[in-house]
Structure 1
């Protein structure tokens, strides 16, 4: 039997290929190299999300420096997300067809270089700051689109869920550290720009580690060695892939659920430090001149809380899904639905109690963040097992595009517009109404969370059928390989 006919067989049956030879010849990678690669990808994911949230950590300083109102400040995140999501489908298409490591390297170089450059923009060139945030969004789109598909090719089943949960822990960890980094650097130096000069150095380290330590795994070895699957890949177009995904109801409903998740988390993560600052200012009956110190402290506290409850939430969600799936195939979307539905009352109480008790607000915000974080690893795992492997990068990019376009691309800006409209409705601005404007705007997030829970319940109705359909081609390939192998063993030697 030649190597080509045995390419799809497990190593315990066809054991003449060493791990290094498999990596080079068959696209298989040893466990040690796989875990090293995941460690590097997790580190870069950390830097990725730190870059996302260096702006909210010093938002008050940026508003004062560039003379932004609430609506224009919210538009900063909108510019970032719009560029991110319009780039994501392109990188998903390229990631399914070309060298993913090269694309990732280019993206890291872009977002790190632009973040560093944005720290030197003067107050008279505020428009350039918007452009720089947009370019950072383009760079991060490469990573958020392609990295999960690399992990999916390195691991399978429960191990893949576990590794993805670790990978997605770095969403809340990176987000929280972004707040902490920017506010700490501002306090230490008195200049908000220094937070934008640390993450590019970390990005350069990540780029070096990516080039040296991360291999390029094959896109599911079983498919690479079947001529029919190869022909399907060559004949596939982006439009055909999208058309197929739109008929996958588990993908559609879960993507809408992720959209709600990003809407809520985007609005809260961008505005909560400012909201807490205004609440403390109101409680203390102090003037807005003391707001700078208050804002920095709240950014660090909120950042640390985001790290802690984010890790706990991602781990809890992944472990609950792993255990519950043993008795219920609908476990993943049900857990996501529970997380969003239960977060709604927590967010509402956090918003309404802020005027009377900052401590109570922190408690309920922490609970809300924990419940929302249950979803991060689970939603990606849903996508990866209900979508056929040859469309995974496209599916990831499409989900990112839809969820960010209808989610956090507009939610910070929408909250800012509503807040500014409330403020303008009063003839004389006051500290009380500055707080109230954000408070009333945030109530929208609690009601949107309930809608997201409904989307995941609809996902549960279709997930069993869609998972079986996505797995069928690979199972057929594996069965064909085993059958061919058995026939070859039974065949008498040729004379």
Structure 2
């Protein structure tokens, strides 16, 4: 399925910078709320007397709900005003984050995290399609990189804030505080501009597309499926690592929880910022040289990151260990802009939100919905260090899949 090509290169839409700013802030809070639970996990395990397998279910259950709700949100995002889905989703997940702090049983906490997943799905599937309609094609990798910079910054904030508040007060307080910013941003999202679908891709791209026609075309789009396969493998590995890294540092590297949270957050933020910015700039340049060039860049980054993940847990000294973790994360975060730009550029504008929602379904259903529990089970029968080393294999396979995606994207757009 070859995407429509604009006759002229339009300028960014009015108020596009404001919308990008709001959406990026929301994405930051999204990941802040998501990662508070990971650094608070040792306290939650202690209070509810959970083993590692049970604790992993907390992350997996959230992802199951999130991934199942995402295609529904994507379907709606191609048909109703998207800013309402964004605002409603942010409000729901922020209230549910605060409610997580009220949980007095593990079952109640699971229900609250499920509601967080529903709210995040209402936002995650449609935000990239809004951005793609606000900025021209040749700028999308860069602006999507700005949007995805919020992932490492939000994760770092979740690690740092969650670790500090859990240690100084309690994990309940960490959830209360995490829910506040999203309520404010939900109100601001109601006033974002609502761009016309396909506004940056020419008049032909603005036509409506019957759902079954779009679904049939997507099924015959090899670039989309190779990209989704590589993204899924990477998400499995990185989602599991992010969930268990603070626990690994506490249990097997003798760090205090607040120090583990701070250092994990600082390294993730720095690597994410530099890697995502570099990936956006290099991805646009690579795409100008050849269709699918950004995907090839992403594939090479994952191939180089895989052995570094193994090496990181074999190093006992803290300073070199975090240096290796930084380099591995930098190479992984190169792909944030290129992968998502390839998805929105490789499907018709009227089908982008659903394609993103379907992508979210697969990357989480076969990715980080499984990996926290799988890694927890491996850790129970061996150790977290062994589990993390095995977890580098999907990164390696994901790099190969993204190289195939780049080749398929080049063929589709020839």
Same fold (TM over 0.5): yes
Instruction: Tell me which of 159, 162, 181 is aligned to 1:182.
Output: 162
Secondary structure of the 1:326 match is helix
Following superposition, the deviation at residue 256 of structure 1 comes to: 0.4
Q: How does 1:29-428 map to 2 (within 5 A)?
A: 29-30=13-14, 33-122=15-104, 125-189=105-169, 191-212=170-191, 214-221=192-199, 230=207, 233=209, 236-237=210-211, 239-281=212-254, 294-353=256-315, 356-422=316-382
The one of the two structures with greater contact order (alpha-carbon pairs below 8 A, sep at least 6) is 2
> Is the 8 Å Cα contact of residues 387 and 467 (structure 1) preserved in structure 2?
no
Q: Could you tell me how far apart the structure 2 residues matched to 1:162 and 1:337 are?
A: 18
Q: State the structure with more CA Rg.
A: 1
Matched with 1:462 is 408
| Kept after mapping to 2: 8 A contact 1:340/1:371 | yes
The SS at the match of 2:57 is: helix
The alpha carbon displacement at 1:349 in A equals 0.3
Segments of 4+ moved more than 4 angstroms = 8-12, 222-226
Question: 1:241·1:394 contact (CA, 8 Å) conserved in 2?
Answer: no
Gaps in structure 1 of 5+ consecutive residues: 1-7, 13-18, 20-27, 282-290, 423-436, 469-495
Matched length: 409
After TM superposition, the score normalised by the length of structure 1 is 0.79
Aligned-residue offset at 1:29: 4.1
Q: Work out the CA distance in 2 between the residues paired with 1:276 and 1:210.
A: 37
- Unmatched runs of 5 consecutive residues or more in structure 2: 1-5
Q: Distance in 1 between matches of 2:66 and 2:241?
A: 19
TM-score (structure 2 length as normaliser): 0.94
User: Aligned equivalents of 1:167 and 1:91: distance in 2?
Assistant: 19
CA contact (8 A) 1:165 1:314 kept: yes
Q: CA deviation at 1:48?
A: 0.7
CA 1:229 to 1:206, structure 2 compared with 1: closer, same or farther past 3 Å? closer
